[in-house]
Structure 1
């Protein structure tokens, strides 16, 4: 590898000059105290370390929840935490910094250190994260001419000021300073956006800004790199392909997954994003291990909540706005509870810990050394004489296969469809002792002065275990499990059946004790490795935790299986004690717990305050202003003007630039709800005479992932009356192009099904099923609908006509293809990105009165929206006023029979619930019967709600409760709050007790 060295003078944002000695690479190791690496792995404190990293964002939960979430991550085998730093929560107003309370990121890093967790710090400045504006503060939009994520002087000026604040917090906690930060990331996923000289200059500025401010741990990037950094890959599937790309780019650097997508985000009105099952998650992890990755950051391990207005907006359509929950279908759910995915992560991470040294020094192995029955695909890795085989089932049901490892060794392997089962082939437990087995091992270390190996397999399955030793093997007591021992007593094999009860085998090998603990899948998932003065294991508990006094607490698993404690609980020194003596006596206090039932607070005595649309006093403006132009970060705005009509009529209201949902009122009555944004039209039923037009707009979140970051939120620019809106998805003809396919029973019909790209992320590799219903067409074929195009390697070139009428202005909005031409003229779209499937383009300079021709290629499908908005520039609406909506000072008793429709506020109070010491409840609010709006708990913005799914419940953190709590709801339609209620999650009734 070429040496990388940075020398010279760097300048802080404050102008202070500092000299920085270069970071030098010599051979394959970075010469730096404590943190080094080579092509195999990172080396921490002189030991190769597999990085099992949990992506956890401190800003998505109250500070009081940090410890519990981090503890659970550690108990799942995570040894590292990956966190973004959100610029916008630290500088919510320009020059006003917040690093206290829930935003005390330094305290979060310190807590990680206290719990023995390394940290990968990702300060951005851009973070994506489905977080508003990708982490940028809203007020950056007020800077004239600013270009985001670019080598732009204005933008970089503010980035440098941000770095001056955030980087010292990270620098002081680097490993080189005695801290736990081992890696720092430069920007985020920049390769998705640009890869030109200007981009390299921008990334180099950020890299040098980190170094000049004292960052001396290795720098990493993800999806796109810059010289002097280690690039990682972000993915969910196709691990082999991603590994090959990294190996080609950086053969002498470690290969890590910087974002391993455990689930996916959700947006309003879409199905729940639960397509990635726990079994598939386990398989994908095994694929990454098999490929050779030696670090995996689970994004997200705990997602948390988009409190306030910080949920973002992303690509795929005009209206993909994040829900308030950022549960992400992650291993730890939004409430910090363990899930089936958590158990899958724990299963694989404990396996990587047990085989840490082997995995980090192994190389891919040719498969010709083994033979397997049909239906099993084998791949392997090797270190010296040690081998690890990955056996992948290609069958459609669970099956027992047989794998021959040579030398007469044939193992049965049981695998479910698609499952990847590890086969350990003479893995060295200690010098002179080798293990062969056909399933997972969850532990391989000294526990209570006894080397302990924990063997795990699915419930009801058998496993084969073989030990080969250089010394004699002796059994410590009678073994009631089938086994065979060689005549020279140097080889012993076991045929284990994995019962609901744990089994313990204790052997003496050359005078050294070995303990084998045999667990089924249920018990293995209930086995917890805990570090302290020494390693200990608690087996038979659904969950473990530590209370405020440092005592270990647990929730009991099956009442029919007594728990098992290994480690410091053992009392007989270095000699293993018998199985019966390892049992833990029942805790009588625990057995009697559960008599107290948690009572959910009732929400009664609601009070209300209507939003009086007739008495608003707004600020006069020449035209509608965006939120940032008006000086308001988030929340609601009302735009108001007057319309005069000479007769009763229907007229189209055109917004050439609108970026959020809007309710349109005429004379105090709602006419429509606008949800498709970018540009939009709304039909108004106008009476004769003068009418009051009012538009209620909620800031629904800014783009967090897009080439068009920094869109002007709300309505920005003039609105026009009397235009038209045309759907242009239909009646396209194919021009000269290779043959391509489309789907659907008939062409030219409206009966098509639109699938939103954001709900089917490219992170998955679904193969689909069923018959191929696509059709193939060529030039001159019948009319088609854009939604029917399924594409191929070559993009079809399509053409149709539209009638512009006498209007002089036109906006095209929706999923616009490339090579856009109007009347034979190419439309300039300098920022066009094919992968971004939604665009808004002003084509006024290209259209003519009457019939026009439009041509474009189609790459992104299906196209659920392509509209033409036509209007006349002389029909502009003038004399606007704007008002920011604030909570009322007074409420009145709410009586449902006297309620009327229209925006309204509701307020109630409830007492803090009584919680006994043996419970850990989580409280949530179910918004049954409401429409759309926002929620506040004790003055804290809980987030937006919208009763179109998929979110139904909203987290109310227990840490934010007072003795008497105020709940406030704003509902855009003024729906009745009578069916809104509080409830606990299912695990709230579980009983906890202190372990002895």
Structure 2
């Protein structure tokens, strides 16, 4: 077992770990998998209070919801990333996709962006969201934080939290816990109200998220105990756990999920389906994640949560520094509600797992008993057995199709074609009702639907595939099907369907009856299976086939109605069937007229308002905040991503001056009211050419999102600062910052090697090392990283800055230990002030202890030789952007490519609603720099996107029929003449109505 402190969840590793993962995805290395899920020592859960036992409970074999064995097929969806008008639609899409549960974060800075002002209405109405989950018959897993990660601004921490003296996040820190408690006082009553014990949907609660020290039931310190006691005091009754369970892109790993020591079910709270670097679907996604899902089902898993099943959008300024407006995630349900191939593979697996949950949630490994089925060394066989029956899984891990003939004792030979990577389930001795058991189901069973006295078995097959189902009955069966009656054979108390599948445009339909119990078999090809839906929100469970997507349904004593859609570019649905307990009925598709649609919205001539007026030398400061030193962006309560700074400086002589400041990310620099340059603040310094005399300096600063602070513990005031910050120095000459890029690596046998001190650097024997590369081959290890810093004679001080080491680092200067640093993704620095040391070349040695996965120095190391300089003070600061406080009025934009600094732009467009069309529009900010877009006052988020030219999704409820307004704030002042609003064909749909008046 690994020490729990070595656990580092991979989804939080967004530096070299993520880039390596992305590279492998791009190369198509589908066998690659993270191992962190297997490294989590404790994947246990706390039982709920006694009040919850009959509602949400578990044992070592599986979950029990309302005292029924339940396989949890959960969909990750963030209500914070979806307008509330679309919640029901997205939730129904997930339910139709075979999911029975929704997992959410309750992001802190989404609900308390301003200190003490809590927002739980509109898009933040958690109470309404959880009520919708319940209304649709779904369960909920709620992850209450207070840390979330989620590729969200600061991982969910409110900006105001950064500036609380003495506060240390995610530790047993009274100041931090005080604010957590205040948030929980408002949040938890909503969550607890919706627990299943209170008639709601919440079956599980997660405290914290991906904490580097405690997962499952591990509570290594008082901080964890505080979260537990607070939540229990606030009425938590259902089962709960800390941080997460089995996070990985292939959680089943090598398939060894059984653990006799685990007192609870195996569950993955983050099964990473695709990644946040992707929009849309790649050809390999569906097959890759299909296999990884079936591995969980086949090897004893009791549930999973796809992160994300629906990604959504980062509206406003909610994105972190890895994203922009899109959080599509390449998910099963796309950002705009389109259904990807992944959706249908997830649907199959979900329907199957839930159909056979009586086995899967109470099973033991029975693989040994069924190895006789094949002598093939490539094909793998596993099995799960319980009192409810047995599931046998045929696994083809090869890169080519396998065709195998199996002979089961007492049955005729049966041939199965297994696609590359496919896991094929065989059902054995599964009780369908009190009179019929499925003795052998050798064909691909898609799902089993119980409709009171009718049980429907959905079978998927390709044309020409053999179909074999064998049933045992307690009474004599009667074949009821007329068309295909000859394919069903009854012999005593044995019923067999043994045929070859020949698609006929609608499902092949077989029926037999035992007393009052009816067994219905529907055989469909893959395309038809994709268009088959189970609707159980009506008073009678219904099966509908032939529909691209089935929306809301209504069943009454006189008829059945349903809203349905198909992609605008797809073939229309024509032949649809309804299967109720009483029988089947062909449904009427209400006709939809063809309409020519312009795929481009016409924009009126752009208007402009100057946002760079705050650089003017004679500007009155008005509401600007004054401070001796520049404040971090947000320290004044600013919730946007930009700010203005102004001060004055006297240049004693003309020449080049170097300015240094903490902060980030970018600045547009004005001297005496004139734009002179753009500055990447994170580069550390800026050179200005100044004339002798007094100068007005103005900086418009902006950032691309704050770090999500993954795995970070401690104070957050100095981490990932934005804007200008801290002591700002200016000095004649420069540059003064350089990067140490000539490194060498020597492996160390163990941690004891540090006691002997660093070896003398021998560049002939040591291996050259490139910053950001893995020195430890994805394993634990120790090693020396060394370089030489040139002599700096006469320099009073030299600063060595590390952005991140992976993981723990000990620094040595000329063989002497000077600093010990623990943790990954945490900046630190060391200052040398001994002039005698600085007068000669310096050997810098870093001893790194890598505790898991990749390791090394994962970010550039810089030295700063500025020494001393003039500290600029007397600063003024102002929020931005705020369209209302720009004094200039709107003017028609002249044909200028780039204006003088940040600018506002405005245009209008007409959008006419077209009957039976649900059109998706995207703003493509062609030719623009960095900025944000508003549609009718709604902030779509940040551009440019980091995942290609996808455009910025405009949620349909934010558009009006008729005249609409678009406003763009471009930080670089680029001309919007190339901006377009285009229709996204893949997400746009045709809506229609299905109906039948006679349901008997």
| TM bucket, shorter chain | 0.7 to 0.9
1:938-977 equivalence runs, <5 A: 938-946=936-944, 949-950=947-948, 952-962=950-960, 963-977=962-976
Residue 903 in 1 paired to residue 940 in 2? no
Change (3 A) 1:586 1:176: closer
Q: Which residue is 1:95 aligned to?
A: 116
Query: Could you tell me which residue of structure 1 aligns to residue 981 of structure 2?
Result: 982
Instruction: Trace 1:743-754 onto structure 2 (pairs within 5 A).
Output: none
Select 1:731's aligned residue among 725, 742, 750.
742
Partner of 2:440: 436
Q: 1:65 aligns to what?
A: 86
Normalising by structure 2, we get a TM-score of 0.82
The answer to whether the aligner puts 1:421 opposite 2:420 as a matched pair is: no
Contact 1:442–1:456 at 8 Å: present in 2 too? Answer: yes
Using the TM superposition, give the Cα deviation of residue 297 of structure 1 relative to its aligned residue in structure 2, in angstroms.
1.5
Tell whether 2:787 aligns with 1:800. Answer: yes
Distance 1:107 1:25, change over 3 A: closer
Residue of structure 1 in register with 2:722 after alignment: 713
Separation in 1, partners of 2:273, 2:774? 30
* Correspondence 1:261 to 2:267: no
Q: State the partner residue of 1:584.
A: 587
Q: C-alpha separation between the residues in 1 aligned to 2:986 and 2:86?
A: 16
- The corresponding residue for 2:916 is 918
- Asked if 1 retains the 8 angstrom alpha-carbon contact of 2:628 and 2:875, the reply is yes
Which consecutive unaligned segments of at least 5 residues does structure 1 have? 1-22, 224-231, 314-320, 740-776
Instruction: Identify the residue that residue 20 of structure 1 maps to in structure 2.
Output: none
| 1:529 equivalent in structure 2 | 534
Q: Which residue of 1 aligns with 2:562?
A: 552
Once the 2 structures are TM-superposed, how far is the Cα of residue 925 of structure 1 from its aligned partner? 0.9
Deviations 1:529-566 (A, max 9, x none): 10111111111111121289995211359869743323
Contact 2:923/2:954 (<8 A) preserved:
yes
Instruction: Report what 1:285 is aligned to.
Output: 293
Unaligned runs of 5+ in 2: 1-44, 751-761, 996-1000
Matched, 1:40 2:58: no
1:342 match: secondary structure: helix
Any idea what the Cα deviations from partners look like across 1:670-691, whole Å, max 9, x if unmatched?
56555573x7233445556555
Please report how far the alpha carbon of residue 407 of structure 1 lies from its aligned counterpart in structure 2 after TM superposition: 4.7
Native 8 Å contact 2:609 2:904 kept in 1: yes
Structure 1 match to 2:640: 634
- Is the Cα contact below 8 Å between 1:930 and 1:947 reproduced in 2? no
Distance 1:458 1:841, change over 3 A: farther
CA separation in 2, counterparts of 1:498 and 1:738?
65
Which residue matches 2:829? 841
Task: Describe the SS at the equivalent of 1:841.
Answer: strand
Q: Deviations over 1:833-858 (max 9, x none)?
A: 14x3x634243457842322211246
Q: Would the alpha carbon gap of residues 404 and 235 (structure 1) be closer, same or farther in structure 2, given more than 3 Å must change?
A: farther
Task: Report if aligned partners of 2:255, 2:295 keep a CA contact under 8 Å in 1.
Answer: no
Closer, same or farther in 2 for the Cα pair 1:272/1:819, shift >3 Å? farther
Residue by residue over 1:808-831, the C-alpha shift from the partner in whole angstroms, topping out at 9 and shown as x without a partner, is: 14141344352222233334344x
Determine helix, strand or coil for the equivalent of 2:603. Answer: coil
Q: Quote the Cα distance in structure 2 between the aligned partners of 1:50 and 1:846.
A: 65
For the residues of structure 2 that align with 1:113 and 1:121, how far apart are their CA atoms?
A: 13
Q: Check conservation: 2:786, 2:845, Cα contact below 8 A.
A: yes
- In 2, the alpha carbon distance for the partners of 1:25 and 1:272 equals 39
> Partners in 2 of 1:193 and 1:803 — Cα distance?
43
Residue of structure 1 in register with 2:14 after alignment: none
Contact 1:382 1:388 in 2 (8 A): yes
Distance 1:233 1:735 in 2: 34
Match among 823, 845, 851 for residue 814 of structure 2: 823
Aligned mates of 1:645, 1:404 — CA distance in 2: 92
Structure 1 residue 928: Cα displacement: 0.8
Residues 1:130 and 2:151 are matched in the alignment:
yes
Q: Which residue of 2 aligns with 1:594?
A: 594
Give the equivalent residue in structure 2 for 1:780: 765
Report the alpha carbon displacement of residue 59 of structure 1 after superposing the two structures with TM: 1.6
**TM-score, length-normalised on structure 1?**
0.83
Cα displacement (A) at 1:932: 0.6
- Aligned 8 A contact 2:55 2:66 in 1: yes
Given the alignment of the two structures, is residue 393 of structure 1 paired with residue 383 of structure 2, yes or no? no
- Residue 473 of structure 1 contacts residue 492 of structure 1 at CA under 8 Å; is this kept in 2? no
Match of residue 752 from structure 1? none
In structure 1, the residue corresponding to 2:524 is in which secondary structure?
strand
Q: Which residue of 2 aligns with 1:773?
A: none
Q: How does 1:317-716 map to 2 (within 5 A)?
A: 321-367=322-368, 369-370=370-371, 371-372=373-374, 373-384=376-387, 386-407=389-410, 410-431=413-434, 432-447=436-451, 449-457=453-461, 461-477=465-481, 483=487, 485=489, 488=492, 490-497=494-501, 499=503, 501-511=505-515, 512-531=517-536, 532-546=538-552, 552-555=562-565, 562-568=574-580, 573=582, 576=583, 582-587=585-590, 589-590=591-592, 593-595=593-595, 597=597, 600-610=600-610, 611-612=612-613, 613-615=615-617, 616=619, 617=621, 618-643=624-649, 649-655=655-661, 657-666=662-671, 673-675=678-680, 677=682, 680-686=684-690, 691-704=695-708, 705-707=710-712, 709=716, 711=719, 712-716=721-725
Classify the secondary structure of the residue corresponding to 1:67. helix
Note if 1:866 corresponds to 2:846.
no
Once the 2 structures are TM-superposed, how far is the Cα of residue 713 of structure 1 from its aligned partner? 2.9
Partner residue in 2 for 1:10: none
Answer yes or no: is the 8 Å Cα contact 2:609–2:903 preserved in 1. yes
Give me the whole-angstrom Cα distance separating, in 2, the residues matched to 1:132 and 1:196: 28
Q: Partner of 2:175 in structure 1?
A: 154
Does the residue aligned with 1:235 lie in a helix, a strand or coil? coil
Q: Kindly tell me: are residues 196 and 643 of structure 1, through their superposed partners in 2, closer, same or farther at Cα, counting changes over 3 Å?
A: farther
Deviation at 1:921, TM superposition (A): 2.0
Deviation at 1:194, TM superposition (A): 9.2
SS where residue 810 of structure 2 aligns? coil
2:996 is equivalent to residue 993 of structure 1: no
Q: 1:876 aligns with which of 871, 882, 888?
A: 871
CA distance in 2, matches of 1:667, 1:195: 58
Query: Pick from 306, 311, 323: which aligns with 1:298?
Result: 306
Which position in structure 2 is the counterpart of 1:17? Answer: none
Name the SS of the counterpart of 2:292 in structure 1. Answer: helix
